[in-house]
A and B are shown apart, each in its own frame.
Chain A
Amino acid sequence: MEGLRRFLSRHRNGVVFVVLITISTIAIGTQSQSVNSASKHIGYSIFASVQSSAAEVGHFFGNFVNSIGELRRIRQEYEVLQEKVNEYKTIERDILDLQSENTQLRELLDFSQKMPLSHVAARIIAKEPGLLFDGFTVNRGRTHGITEDTPVIAYAEGFSSLVGKVVEVTDATAKVLPIIDRSCFVAAKMRESRYEGLLHGLGAADGLVEMTYVKKRAKNRIQFGDLVVTSGFRSIYPEDLYIGRVDAIRAPEWESSLTLEIRPLVDFTRLEYVFILLGENE
C-alpha cells in the first residue's frame, strides 16, 4: 500500500494522464448507444441552457455588429437615393418647363395657323440690357422677307397683340422697337367706342403706353379695362391689332383731349416668341 502511494506520488503526472486518457477511451469505446447517449444527454441537458444563452448573447452582439454595418449600408443607400431624388427633381423641373414650353408653342402654332396675315415666327434672341432703350432682337431677318417698319405682333390673352415694329434688319436678324419705347408711336382707337388717339410708350420701367389726343367727349364712354386696338389709319400697322387695356384716364381741365394710360396685353418682360407680319395672306 505504501509502495503504491509512493508510486502514485512519484508518477502523479503520468498517472493522471493515463487516467484521463483511459476515461476518454472508455467513453469512446463504450459506444453502445444507451450508455453513451445517456451520459451525453445528462451533460448536454446541464449545459444546453448555458449554450443557448451564450448563443443568444452571441446572436445579440452579432446583430448589433451587423446593424452597424447595416446602418452604414443604409446611409450609403440613402445618399445614393438622395442624389437620385435630386436628379429626378431636376428632371421633373425640366419636364415641367418642357410641358409649359410645349403648351406655349402649341398655342402659338394654333394662333399662327389662324392668323389671316402672312407672317414669320421669330424668337427673341437678345434684349436691350439698359434702361434707356427698350428694343430687342429676333432671329429672323432680310432672308426671311422682313423689311424695316414691318409690324411685330405676339399672342397674348388670346389676342393678336401689337408688340412693335422692325427698325433695323440684317440678313439673319432684326431689331424690334416695342410699343412701350418712348420713341414708338402708333395710331390707335378704342375697340368699342371707336374713339381714336395717338399712342406712345412710357418706357420699360413703367411698362405702359399712353394714348393722347382722345376727344374729351369720349370720357363718359370709356371704361377701365376697355380694349385699345390699332386704327390702321395711314399707318404701317394693320387695323384692329390689339394693343392693351385702359388702365387710367386723365382729363386735365386745361387740355382739350383725354390722356389714357394703357397697359399692353403683351407682357414684355416674359416675351419669347413674336410674329413679324409680312402682309395679307393670299
Chain B
Amino acid sequence: MRKKNPIIYGVILIVCALLQNSVFTSLHIAEIRPDFTLLLLVFFAHQLGTMEGKIIGFLAGLMMDILGMAPLGFHSLIYTVIGHLFGLTRGKMYVDSLTMPVVFAIAATLIVTFTSFIIVIVFLPLRLSSVLSIGVLIQIGMHAVLAPFIFALLRVFKLCSEHETQML
C-alpha cells in the first residue's frame, strides 16, 4: 500500500486543533463541544499507522495543551494513546462509510474519557464528576453522528480511502 505523507495529516490536525479552540467554539450542545481533532486523529491514525499516528497525535495534543487551559501534556498524552491504538487498526479493519466511523468515534471517546479519568486520578486535583458526567454521553452521541460525515469529507479530499483499507 502506498503510504500517505504524514506531514500533511499532521498539519491538518494541528490546524484543526488550532481552529477548535478559536473558531469552532460556537458549535456546541449544552456547552458540550465535539472534539473534531480527536475524530480526525482517529481516521488519520487508521490511515497512517501507529508511528505516524502517535506522533501527529502528540503534536496536535501539544497544540491543544498550549492553546487551552489543560495542563501541558494532558492532551498530548491522550492523543498519543489514541494515535497509537487507532494506528494499530491500519490494514486490519475494513472501514465502511457508516458503521466503522461510528464505532471508531465511540471507542475513541470512551478511551479519551478513560485516559482522562486515569490522569485526573493520578495527577490532577480535579473532581472525578467533571470527567464522568452526562456530558460524556452527549459527546459520544455527537461524535457518533459527526463521524460518518467527517469520514465522508476526508474521502472526498482523498485523505481517507476506503478502498486501500479494504485491500489490506
Contacts and interface: CB of A to CB of B under 8 A. Distances in A.
Contacts of B74: 24, 28
Contacts of B124: 28, 31
Interface string B8-31: 000000000011011110100000
A57 B22 CA distance: 10
B54 interface: yes
B128 interface: no
A113 interface: no
Interface residues of A, number: 32
A20 B66 contact: no
A28 B24 CA distance: 26
B3 to A, nearest CB: 15
B63 A47 contact: yes
Nearest to A50: B18
A81 to B, nearest CB: 30
Contacts of B73: 23-29
A54 B22 contact: yes
Interface stretch (A38-46, A87-95, A209-217, A231-239): A38-46
Report whether over half of chain A's contact residues are helix, strand or loop; otherwise say mixed.
helix
Given A21-B80, A28-B123, A16 B54 contact: yes
A25 B18 contact: no
Contacts of B21: 51
Interface residues on B, range: 20 to 34
A40 B74 CA distance: 12
Nearest to A46: B66
Interface string A11-36: 01100110011011111110100001
A68 interface: no
A69 interface: no
A51 B18 contact: yes
A98 interface: no
Contacts of B63: 47
B89 to A, nearest CB: 14
Interface string B47-91: 000110011001001110111000111101100110010000000
A27 B18 contact: no
Contacts of B19: 54, 58
A28 B123 CA distance: 7
A224 to B, nearest CB: 83
Interface in A74-111: none
Contacts of A54: 18-19, 22-23
Given A13-B50, A20-B54, A21-B81, A36 B22 contact: no
Interface of A: 12-13, 16-17, 20-21, 23-29, 31, 36, 39-40, 43-44, 46-48, 50-52, 54-55, 57-59, 61-62
Given A27-B76, A46-B66, 18 more contacts: A13-B50, A16-B51, A20-B55, A20-B77, A24-B61, A31-B71, A40-B65, A40-B72, A43-B72, A44-B66, A47-B18, A47-B66, A50-B18, A51-B21, A58-B19, A58-B22, A58-B24, A59-B23
6 contacts: A16-B51, A24-B74, A31-B71, A43-B62, A43-B72, A54-B18
Interface of B: 18-19, 21-24, 26, 50-51, 54-55, 58, 61-63, 65-67, 71-74, 76-77, 80-81, 84, 119, 123-124
